[in-house]
Amino acid sequence: MKFTLSWLKDHLETTASLDEITAKLTAIGLEVESIADPGAALKGFIVGHVLEANQHPNADRLRLCAVSTGTETLQVVCGAPNARAGLKVVLARPGVTIPATGDVLKKGAIRGVESQGMMCSTRELKLGEDHDGIIELPADAPVGADVAGVLNIDPVIEINLTPNRVDALGVYGVARDLAAAGLGTLKPYDTAPVAGTFDSPRKVATWLPADKAALCPQFVGRAIRGVKNAESPAWLKDRLTAIGLRPVSALVDITQYLTIDLGRPLHAFDDAKLKGAVGPRLAKDGESLVALNGKTYALDANTVVIADESAALGIGGVMGGETTAVSETTTTVFLESALFDPLNIAATGRKLQINSDARYCFERGVDPESAISGAEAATRMILKLCGGEASHMVQVGTAPQWKRVIKFDPARVHTLGGIDLPPGGSKTTLARLGFTIDEHASGWNVTPPSWRGDIEGWQDLVEEVLRIHGYDAIPAVPLPRPSMPKVTLTPAQRQAGITRRTLAARGLAETTTWAFLPRAQADLFRGDLPLVLLANPISSDLDAMRPSLIPNLAAAAGRNANRGMTDVALFELGPRFEANKPGAQVQIACALRAGHTSARHWSGTRRPVDAFDAKADALAALDAAGASAAGLQTATGSEAGVPGWFHPGRAGVLKLGNQVLATFGELHPRVLAALDIKGPVVACEVFLERIPPAKKKQAGVARPLLKPSPFQPVERDFAFVVDTKVAAETVLRAVRNVDKALITDVGLFDVYVGAGIGAGEKSLALSVTLQPRDATLTDAEIEAVAAKVVAAVEKACGGRLRA
Amino acid sequence: MADSNVLQIRDDVLKACAAAADIAAVEAVRVDALGKKGRVTELMKTMGALSPDERKAFGQQINTVKDEIAAAIEAKKTQLESAALDTRLAREVLDVTLPVRPEARGTLHPIGQTIDELTAIFGAMGFEVAEGPDVEDDFHNFTALNFPPGHPAREMHDTFFLPTAEDGNRYLLRTHTSPVQIRTMMGKKPPIRVIIPGRTYRCDYDMTHTPMFHQMELLVIDKGITMAHLRGCLEEFLRVYFGVDDLTTRFRPSFFPFTEPSAEVDIGCSRQGGELKIGNHGDWLEILGCGMVHPNVMKACGLDPEEYQGFAAGLGVERIAMLKYGIPDLRTFFESDLRWLKHYGFAALDVPTLTGGLAR
């Protein structure tokens, strides 16, 4: 909301400076958004008095002037035709900056004669376009004074209104707040009734159905005849122009003015264009209207229109219509002042996409007592500016009941607001804001004024006292502190943190991607999950909630590759969305690698990423999150739960019992093609919430006692020939299970296919560590275990020792 | 006779030892002199035939010679081994200026790191971390937070909605972390001190807005909590987070549906020369919104606003990360540009703590 300083001072008697006023506005919750002060650029410009104006000795068109600054007399060369002796002028002395050019004025010589200053035009000061001559100041302007004060330049203040502050929609309300805050005295606003001299020939009516009467509870009108609708006077046009409104004609400008002055929108009809009674009704479906902005709007039965007996004339509380607008030929004006339902106005404005000052006021809720007082103020102004004669007021409906009493204990200012203030201070503040207070032994009964519909409870009263008194007065008191902080994170949050840092330590860069993605990608990565779409996506490529974190990371890898970074290692912890309802989201740790393990290097350690990188990331994340590799099984194939977006032969899942804790593998070439990225790309997704929580141990966090064996471990190597289809894990598990106490480690150090073994077979070389506990192993004991190992592998998968 | 023989052997052996070219030759000299059938050994065998006096004198002499020979052989061996090692080392040369084998260095995203910083600060003040779902219902996101019907935030223009679900509800993506306030208050009895970091969503995408961003909510509910505690808590937080011990704050009246009284908080700053600096330099920077929890919100959660009071605050995680770490553009947080992640990211083990410092 914008207004000028002089406008504010119409209502506020104050000696405060612009800076004091704007600082106070922000301090009381009317945050100043901007201050446009053309006068600020005029610092150093003073009123000069031309004592003499003589012909320049060397130039016909120039004059040589003697200009008094009040303390000295300067010689100024001037080319303006109106430079003459006796004139009061705007004088710029060397050192000031000329607003139009931004140049600093210097002493100079013009045609051989020294010039010690400059007399300025409107254009040079950026106050207007006039450059025909220099500014002629009033004859009584004090010589030597700052011109900014003499020129009466009006700064424009824009405040950012919070939606609750309907009372400050008008300049008068702003002045009331400032006065309450001690910045001056609020001048009374003349809302006394203007006596009508005849009955309004125009009647008002309401055609709203009884159950919709609240959409326009009060409709007030008055005819004013014999008006002359000419251009508005300069002061009115200047004010409207200053705040960005376009002056139209006196009648229109008066309604515009009062909307800003009082926060009270009004409408002026050309009475000659009306047929029969006027009043609110619901629009008919299919009805349309040409509004004052020249646009045609299709209306429906949820819209309140102001109509006469022939047609809809305007969109109630939003914008008037073109057909009944006032013009320079208007002689009788019918003034409308009504109340509308804020929700309905907001809905109508949004639907029709009209942003008008009227809508801005009504959707926030104007003062319910202002329909008549506003009409009186408008009448007074019309009679003054346009002449004429007013009828009696006509109205349908009444102002809705707004009075309510709030019980208030002034001690609450301290117990909620935290400041110490004597009850008298609160009382003065509330009274200045228009609240009435009825003091009782048990507390106060406070009635908010009609313009403060936002005040509901005692907490609101505390805020009123606090904001007018100043939030600066609130002391800073530390929260009572526990002597030692308790644990801040839940076990799951802690595990997530360790998982993040573990993956980062593995060389992956953490990223954060949208929770949404293109629908086509959601389809590629959702498996059996339903497609969770947004009803109103920000764009068509962000229209589905992600069922997996892989596509966003894969797309990121693609974008990085396009920038020349083809080796990518990224991870993200975040939700995937499994259904259209709250709580159907699952926390995932996703790691993705693309390209090579590293840049090219002399050591030759570089290789393309493969499924084992993804598996290693998954195992590391699982281990960090509390699921150690020992209990996990690797399974393959779609029946084991390997998702279809992985390469069918190069992917797997990590299971604990029947529960899939993680999926990993190389992305399917078809998926890469659909995402338009180059492989190889490998990824894993770890379902953090599926990891069973650590069992509560009897001894708390103490570890079981370490019992290192004093006996030397024995390492024996075996090479087994098995069918190529046999999973290595089958062999490893068989060996481990032979003697879980004795066999402490089984390594797999070679996989061989080729000469020396049969077609369709492979050789797996295992190193088995035997750790005796009670005595050194004898050769016979070692041989016995070795025989069991061989038997177990044969039983598990038909493997045999390689010859 | 015996003397001259011993001396002869000594001279011969020492000469041969000195002349030996390699370890094998030295070994041959040793065997020839001191081996089982070596010349010195053989000579010692002759001692038995001598008289006790002669034997003593001869024994002393031959032992001296034997020790001398053994020492010479050992010295020669050491000398030859040392020379051999020098020769080997002269061949074994690496260009150690070559770059080391590549090891990838991962990083942590500034959003997560900032949330860890906030957790460290508020953890010390006795807060816990609460979380809630990204997909919310109207009740938790709006109604319980005292948003009136018809509030603009409830429109499709501002809020992401999901299509009407099978259960008839129209769910939405939470527009703030405040619904978790409601879930927290409904889930446990005061005293409550929680921070609520998380993803939030609004229909906005331009220079300074992204459709997804992160907020951190602060909620304190107890008996006797006042706005003075709100100010004390936030001032302490802002001073520690920005590392400015005497950072000044300015509280301005504002409006949020879910707090009463409400405030915007500014911190001191300077914008001289187009560079933003946090500190008491005369200018102000808006940093967060806050207020005392609205009685209607308390009532919606089953708490009696006459018994309990508290405050809530909300701030943008990206915004305070941008301010602290000088990151110029919000949108870059979500682009996964490796150059950005490496540049603005944090080391894996750079865990922010109050004991070790929040930032290096």
Angle, CA B170 vertex, CA B167 and CA B176 arms, to 5°: 130
Statement to judge: residues A521 and A668 lie in one domain: yes
What is the tens place of the pLDDT at every residue in A461-507? 999 999 999 999 999 999 998 888 888 999 999 999 999 999 999 99
For residue B23, report the phi and psi dihedrals to the nearest 5 degrees: -60, -40
Statement to judge: residues A363 and A445 lie in one domain: no
Distance (Å) from the alpha carbon of A582 to chain B's nearest alpha carbon: 5
Distance (Å) from the alpha carbon of A686 to chain B's nearest alpha carbon: 18
Instruction: Give me the CATH number covering residue A747.
Output: 3.30.70.380
Statement to judge: residues A554 and A655 lie in one domain: yes
Residue among B103, B226, B252 whose CB faces A31 most closely: B252
**Strand A113-115 versus strand A73-78 pairing type:** unpaired
Distance (Å) from the alpha carbon of B90 to chain A's nearest alpha carbon: 23
Provide the Cα torsion A636, A639, A640, A646; round to 10°.
Answer: 50
Residues 28-47 of B with CB under 8 A from A: none
Which pLDDT band, with edges at 50, 70 and 90, does A148 fall under? confident
Minimal-distance CA residue of chain B relative to A605: B101
Residue among A510, A532, A538 whose CB faces B211 most closely: A538
Residue A347 in tokens: 């809905």
Contact B211 A542 (CB under 8 A): yes
The answer to whether the complex's ipTM is over 0.95 is no
Statement to judge: residues A530 and A564 lie in one domain: yes
Split into its structural domains, chain A has a count of 6
Decide if A565 touches B, using CB distance below 8 A. Answer: yes
Q: Can you give the pLDDT at residue B1?
A: 42
- Contact, A97 vs A125, CB < 8 A? no
Q: How far apart are CA B308 and CA B295, in angstroms?
A: 9
Instruction: Give me the CATH number covering residue A576.
Output: 3.30.930.10
Contact B134 A512 (CB under 8 A): no
* More confident: A59 or A517: A517
DSSP code of residue B151? -
Statement to judge: residues A749 and A610 lie in one domain: no
Q: CB under 8 Å to A286, separation ≥6 — which residues? A: A298
What is the tens place of the pLDDT at every residue in A742-781? 999 999 999 999 988 989 999 999 999 999 999 999 999 9
Identify the residue among A477, A562, A571 best suited for mutation to test binding to B, counting B beta carbons within 10 A and taking the highest: A477
Residue recorded with tokens 């004139």 = A87
Other Cβ atoms less than 10 A from the Cβ of B230: the count is 29
Decide if A568 touches B, using CB distance below 8 A. Answer: yes
Strand ranges, E, within A6-141? 12-13, 31-36, 46-55, 63-68, 73-78, 88-92, 108-110, 113-115, 118-119
Identify the residue among A416, A426, A532 best suited for mutation to test binding to B, counting B beta carbons within 10 A and taking the highest: A416
Statement to judge: residues A656 and A739 lie in one domain: no
Average pLDDT of every residue of chain A? 93
Q: Can you give the pLDDT at residue A635?
A: 94
Contact B128 A350 (CB under 8 A): no
Is A215 part of a structural domain of the chain? yes
Residue among B104, B124, B150 whose CB faces A485 most closely: B124
Which pLDDT band, with edges at 50, 70 and 90, does A699 fall under? low
Statement to judge: residues A577 and A456 lie in one domain: no
For residue A634, report the phi and psi dihedrals to the nearest 5 degrees: -100, 130
Q: How far apart are CA A632 and CA A335, in angstroms?
A: 82
Return the percent helix, strand and coil in chain A, to nearest 5. Answer: 30, 25, 45
Contact A31 B342 (CB under 8 A): no
Decide if A414 touches B, using CB distance below 8 A. Answer: yes
Q: How far apart are CA A454 and CA A728, in angstroms?
A: 73
Contact B101 A419 (CB under 8 A): no
Contact A463 B129 (CB under 8 A): no
Contact A419 B228 (CB under 8 A): yes
**Chain B residues touching A350 at Cβ < 8 A:** 152, 155, 157
Residue among B134, B170, B348 whose CB faces A504 most closely: B348
- Residue type at B146? N
Is A439 part of a structural domain of the chain? yes
Last residue of a domain, one of A371, A397, A423: A397
pLDDT value at A697 more than 70: no
For residue B346, CA distances in Å to A378, B351, B354 come to 65, 9, 17
Does an H or E element contain A795, and which? helix A779-797
Q: Can you give the pLDDT at residue A108?
A: 84
Give the pLDDT means over successive 10-residue stretches in chain B (360 positions). Answer: 74 89 90 87 83 85 88 92 92 93 94 97 95 96 91 83 93 97 96 97 93 97 97 96 93 95 95 90 94 97 96 97 94 96 96 89
Q: How far apart are CA A395 and CA A374, in angstroms?
A: 13
- Contact, A471 vs A28, CB < 8 A? no
Contact B212 A516 (CB under 8 A): yes
First to last CA, chain A: 93
Decide if A475 touches B, using CB distance below 8 A. Answer: yes
pLDDT value at A24 more than 90: yes
- Contact, A336 vs A274, CB < 8 A? no
- Contact, A590 vs A629, CB < 8 A? no
Residue A784 lies in domain: 714-801
Q: How far apart are CA A260 and CA A535, in angstroms?
A: 39
Residues 282-301 of B with CB under 8 A from A: 292, 294-295
What is the tens place of the pLDDT at every residue in A73-132? 988 998 888 888 889 999 999 989 888 888 898 888 888 888 898 999 888 887 766 677
Q: CB under 8 Å to B348, separation ≥6 — which residues? A: A501, A502, A504, A505, B106, B107, B108
Contact A416 B227 (CB under 8 A): yes
> Counting Cβ atoms within 10 Å, is residue B32 exposed (0-12), middle (13-18) or buried (19+)?
middle
Decide if B4 touches A, using CB distance below 8 A. Answer: no
Give me the percent of chain A exceeding a pLDDT of 90: 79
Decide if A574 touches B, using CB distance below 8 A. Answer: yes
Q: CB under 8 Å to A568, separation ≥6 — which residues? A: A556, A557, A560, A561, A592, A593, A594, A595, B338
Decide if B334 touches A, using CB distance below 8 A. Answer: yes
Q: Can you give the pLDDT at residue B249?
A: 93
Query: DSSP secondary structure string, A616-636?
Result: HHHHHHHHHTT--GGG-EEE-
Contact B264 A165 (CB under 8 A): no
Q: How far apart are CA A690 and CA A659, in angstroms?
A: 8
Other Cβ atoms less than 10 A from the Cβ of B270: the count is 15
What is the CA B186 to chain-centroid distance, rounded?
Answer: 36
Contact A463 B261 (CB under 8 A): yes
Statement to judge: residues A51 and A28 lie in one domain: no
Decide if B211 touches A, using CB distance below 8 A. Answer: yes
Residue among A503, A542, A585 whose CB faces B106 most closely: A503
For residue A9, report the phi and psi dihedrals to the nearest 5 degrees: -75, -15
Residues 105-124 of B with CB under 8 A from A: 105-109, 111-112, 116, 119, 122-124
Is A475 part of a structural domain of the chain? no
Decide if A507 touches B, using CB distance below 8 A. Answer: yes
Decide if A350 touches B, using CB distance below 8 A. Answer: yes
Q: How far apart are CA A744 and CA B339, in angstroms?
A: 45
Residue A660 bridge partners (DSSP):
A655
Residue among B112, B163, B224 whose CB faces A535 most closely: B163
Residue among B112, B125, B309 whose CB faces A416 most closely: B309
Is A704 part of a structural domain of the chain? no
Contact B160 A537 (CB under 8 A): yes
What is the tens place of the pLDDT at every residue in A576-624? 999 999 999 999 999 999 999 998 999 988 999 999 999 999 999 999 9
**Chain A residues touching B336 at Cβ < 8 A:** 511-513, 552-553, 556, 559-560, 570
- Residue type at B277? K
Minimal-distance CA residue of chain B relative to A412: B226
**Chain B residues touching A476 at Cβ < 8 A:** 228, 231-232, 235, 249
Query: DSSP secondary structure string, A234-300?
Result: HHHHHHHHHTT-----HHHHHHHHHHHHHS---EEEEGGG--S-BEEEEPPTT-EEEBTTS-EEE--
Is A21 part of a structural domain of the chain? yes
Identify the residue among A162, A488, A513, A590 best suited for mutation to test binding to B, counting B beta carbons within 10 A and taking the highest: A488
Instruction: Give me the CATH number covering residue A178.
Output: 3.30.56.10
Q: Can you give the pLDDT at residue B44?
A: 83
Contact A510 B155 (CB under 8 A): no
Residues 46-65 of B with CB under 8 A from A: none
Contact A585 B155 (CB under 8 A): no
Residues 148-167 of A with CB under 8 A from B: 162-165
Which of A266, A265, A268, A298 shows the shortest CA–CA distance to A283? A298
Residues 138-167 of B with CB under 8 A from A: 140, 149-150, 152, 155-157, 160-163, 165-167
Statement to judge: residues A234 and A373 lie in one domain: yes
Q: Can you give the pLDDT at residue A129?
A: 65
Instruction: Give me the CATH number covering residue A289.
Output: 3.50.40.10
* More confident: A553 or B63: A553
Instruction: Kindly report whether the peptide bond that precedes residue A669 is cis, defined as omega within 30 degrees of 0.
Output: no
- Contact, B82 vs B27, CB < 8 A? no
Statement to judge: residues A360 and A243 lie in one domain: yes
What average pLDDT score do residues A370-392 get?
95
Minimal-distance CA residue of chain A relative to B265: A471
Long-range contacts (CB closer than 8 Å, 24 or more residues apart) made by B320-327: B320/B114, B320/B241, B320/B287, B321/B110, B321/B111, B321/B113, B321/B114, B323/B242, B323/B276, B323/B278, B323/B285, B323/B287, B324/B114, B324/B241, B324/B242, B324/B278, B324/B359, B325/B110, B325/B359, B327/B110
Statement to judge: residues A230 and A352 lie in one domain: yes
Q: How is the beta sheet containing A312-315 ordered, strand by strand? A: A279-282, A304-307, A312-315
Statement to judge: residues A360 and A224 lie in one domain: yes
Which of A110, A96, A90, A264 shows the shortest CA–CA distance to A173? A264
